[in-house]
């Protein structure tokens, strides 16, 4: 009698995004750990979503990525893998998806947050939600959690190629002098007291990508800091554009490599705020195309899943 092994689950974890303007307040409340934001803060966030079309494509892109990943894994080993999606702050929540994974008879899971750089506050938060949900299952799932992948050569090559493409969109006279500006989501400065690796991983990652392109002058900054009243990591991209302008920089390639898909931090913070700031300063700014659900990005995910399973053996 042939023994058929249960499938291996691949659990893609994303931040989540409201699907309508009515969802903004409960989404914002969940981000704040259940503490209701002020009406002014909700109105401000809702207006940003309205100005980018009422919603972002993050959920659609995440599920499209999952579908492509499933197809790729099926082509290699039919029936061996089953891909799932869970969100940190919106439906389908991580805690909603994990019981379904167990109900499907999957016992062995590779969990992968769709963010390349580790911080206890960000990736650690994903892991906490996974662990809390897993503790409610009987028996719990066996989970291999991929915590960081900023150093994956495929990811670095992908971002490098997108920088080249974005530079080509600049006016010809500015291409050679364009400065590449890497950015990632800011976090509260208190992470530095934890010896959190996040800033070092960002610098190492940016340096590795710049090295592939032979860039001798590139910069790293932060974006999307929260309005919490405490200091956040900087410099902020809007302030840094002014500093670069003062140095004589007239063209910038924006590489928000801390993100992998278009959502508010890209569509608003870069495409609206940073772009408006650059225009105000008389600078040209071009953003790289995000990995989204592109085949090159799915290639990276396939490699990460393979590596995780190989290292566990």
Q: Are 97 and 111 in contact (CB under 8 A)?
A: no
Are 83 and 75 in contact, with CB atoms under 8 Å apart? no
Q: Give the model's pLDDT for residue 184.
A: 98
Return the CATH number of the domain spanning residue range 153-287.
Answer: 3.40.50.1400
Instruction: Name beta bridge partners: 236.
Output: 222
Shortest CA distance to 94 belongs to which of 74, 123, 64, 65?
Answer: 123
Q: At what angle do helices 295-312 and 58-76 cross, to 10 degrees?
A: 60
Quick check: 106 pLDDT over 80?
yes
Is the fold of 8-149+294-312 the same as that of 153-287?
Answer: yes
pLDDT tens digits, one per residue of 160-190: 999 999 999 999 999 999 999 999 999 999 9
């028996």: which residue's tokens?
139
Distance between CA atoms of residues 88 and 95, nearest Å: 9
The candidate with the shortest Cα–Cα distance to 206, out of 173, 184, 230, 228, is 184
pLDDT of residue 2: 45
- pLDDT tens-digit map of 205-235: 999 999 999 999 999 999 999 888 899 999 9
Task: Tabulate helix, strand, coil % of the chain (nearest 5).
Answer: 50, 15, 35
Rounded CA separation 149/6 (Å)? 27
pLDDT at position 4:
65
Q: For the CA atoms of the chain, what is the radius of gyration?
A: 20
Tokens of 137: 């299952």
**Domain-wise residue ranges, the chain:** 8-149+294-312, 153-287
> What is the Cα–Cα distance from 108 to 126, expressed in whole angstroms?
18
Instruction: Please work out, in degrees rounded to the nearest 5, the angle formed at the alpha carbon of residue 296 by the alpha carbons of 292 and 298.
Output: 70
Angle of the 39-51 helix axis to the 24-31 helix axis, nearest 10: 120
Structure tokens, 208: 């590795």
Give the closest residue to 81 by CA, choosing from 101, 58, 95, 54.
101
Is 68's pLDDT higher than 80? yes
Strands 142-146 and 284-287: unpaired
Asked, as a colleague might, if the bond just before 295 is cis with ω within 30 of 0, I would say: no
* Section 92-100 average pLDDT: 98
Residue 19 predicted with pLDDT over 60:
yes
Cα separation, 59 vs 14, in Å, equals: 8
pLDDT value of residue 146 = 97
pLDDT value at 313 more than 70 = no
* pLDDT (tens digit per residue) in 241-271: 999 999 999 999 999 999 999 999 999 999 9
Tens of pLDDT, residue by residue over 109-153, are 999 999 999 999 999 999 999 999 999 999 999 999 999 999 999
Is 93:86 a contact under the CB 8 Å cutoff? yes
- What's the whole-number average pLDDT of the chain? 96
User: For the domain with range 8-149+294-312, which CATH number is right: 2.30.42.10, 2.30.30.60, 3.30.300.30, 3.40.50.1400?
Assistant: 3.40.50.1400
């Amino acid at each position: 009698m042939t023994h058929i092994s249960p499938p291996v689950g691949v659990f893609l974890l994303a931040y989540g995004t409201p699907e309508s303007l009515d969802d903004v307040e409960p989404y914002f409340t969940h981000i704040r750990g259940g503490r209701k934001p002020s009406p002014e803060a909700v109105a401000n966030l809702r207006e940003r979503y309205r100005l980018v079309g009422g919603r972002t494509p993050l959920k659609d892109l995440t599920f499209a990525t999952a579908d492509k990943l499933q197809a790729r894994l099926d082509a290699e080993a039919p029936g061996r893998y089953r891909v799932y999606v869970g969100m940190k702050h919106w439906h389908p929540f991580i805690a909603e998806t994990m019981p379904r994974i167990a109900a499907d008879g999957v016992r062995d899971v590779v969990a992968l947050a769709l963010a390349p750089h580790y911080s206890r506050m960000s990736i650690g938060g994903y892991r906490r939600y996974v662990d809390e949900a897993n503790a409610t299952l009987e028996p719990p799932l066996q989970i291999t959690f991929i915590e960081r992948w900023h150093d994956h050569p495929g990811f670095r090559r992908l971002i490098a190629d997108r920088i080249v493409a974005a530079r080509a969109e600049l006016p010809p006279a500015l291409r050679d002098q364009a400065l590449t500006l890497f950015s990632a989501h800011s976090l509260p400065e208190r992470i530095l007291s934890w010896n959190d690796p996040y800033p070092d991983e960002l610098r190492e990652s940016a340096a590795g990508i710049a090295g592939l392109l032979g860039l001798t002058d590139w910069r790293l900054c932060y974006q999307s800091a929260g309005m919490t009243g405490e200091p956040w990591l900087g410099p902020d991209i809007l302030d840094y554009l002014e500093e670069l302008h003062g140095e004589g920089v007239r063209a910038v390639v924006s590489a928000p490599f801390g993100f992998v898909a278009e959502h508010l931090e890209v569509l608003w913070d870069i495409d609206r705020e940073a772009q408006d700031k650059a225009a105000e300063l008389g600078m040209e700014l071009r953003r790289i195309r995000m990995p989204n659900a592109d085949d090159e990005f799915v290639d990276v995910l396939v490699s990460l899943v393979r590596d995780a399973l190989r290292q566990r053996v």
